[in-house]
Every structure is written in structure tokens, then in C-alpha cells.
Structure 1
Amino acid sequence: MKIEKRLLHTQFQDWLNQQIARHLEAQAARLGADPATATAKPIQIKAHPADADMVHA
């Protein structure tokens, strides 16, 4: 059961990351930002093992 819960959590995180990426791309397109000249670096968000409900950037 724990493996299934962790798999579901990982799938949800991946889906949420994709939704956020699509939203940010659409927002950048609306604002006229050129992705080739963008200097923003992607961040990776991880949950701390001891605090599975807490998210740290």
C-alpha cells in the first residue's frame, strides 16, 4: 500500500509540474517573453522524507 501511495503522489507531482509549466509558457507568450533569451533557471521541488506533507524548494 505504501508503494502505491508513493507512486500516486509522484504521478500527481509530475502532472502538477506539467500544468504549471504550461501555464507559465502561456503567460510568457502573452507577455511577449522570448524563451530563447530567458535567463530563468528551473527549480526542483522535493518533499522532505521526515515531513512528507511539507514541501521545500
Structure 2
Amino acid sequence: MKIEKRLLHSQFQDWLNLQVARHLEAQAAKFRAPSSADRSEPIQIKAHTTDADMVHA
């Protein structure tokens, strides 16, 4: 009986670890840097001297 409980516990831990790994991989995919083909043109920010307290994009 103890061996069966350990086997079941081990199988559950393996399944749970797989679920966590899949979740973390999905989260990491959201934060990966886009490839150079996916990058859009950068925004240029300029401060005008006439209204120095204002920043225009």
C-alpha cells in the first residue's frame, strides 16, 4: 500500500510540474523580445524650446 501511495504521489508531482512548466513557458513567451521583423519604427520624442515644460511625441 505504501508503494502505491508513493507511486501515485510521484505521478501527481510529475503532472503538476508539467502543468507549472507549461504555464511558465506561456508567461515567458509574452515577455520575449520580438524578432527584428516584428519590430516597428521607434518613437522619436522631442522637447520644444518655446515650451520646454512640454514634451511632444
2:32 is the alignment partner of 1:27: no
Distance 1:19 1:6 in 2: 20
Unaligned 5+ runs, structure 1: 34-57
Distance 1:25 1:13 in 2: 18
DSSP 3-state at the match of 1:19: helix
Q: TM-score, normalised by structure 2?
A: 0.54
Ranges of 4+ aligned residues in structure 1 off by more than 6 Å: none
Q: TM-score, normalised by structure 1?
A: 0.54
Larger Rg computed on CA atoms? 2
**2:17 corresponding residue in structure 1:** 17
RMSD of aligned residue pairs (Cα, Å) = 1.1
Identity level (%): 82
Unaligned 5+ runs, structure 2: 34-57
Alpha-carbon shift at residue 31 of structure 1 (Å): 1.4
Counting matched residue pairs gives: 33
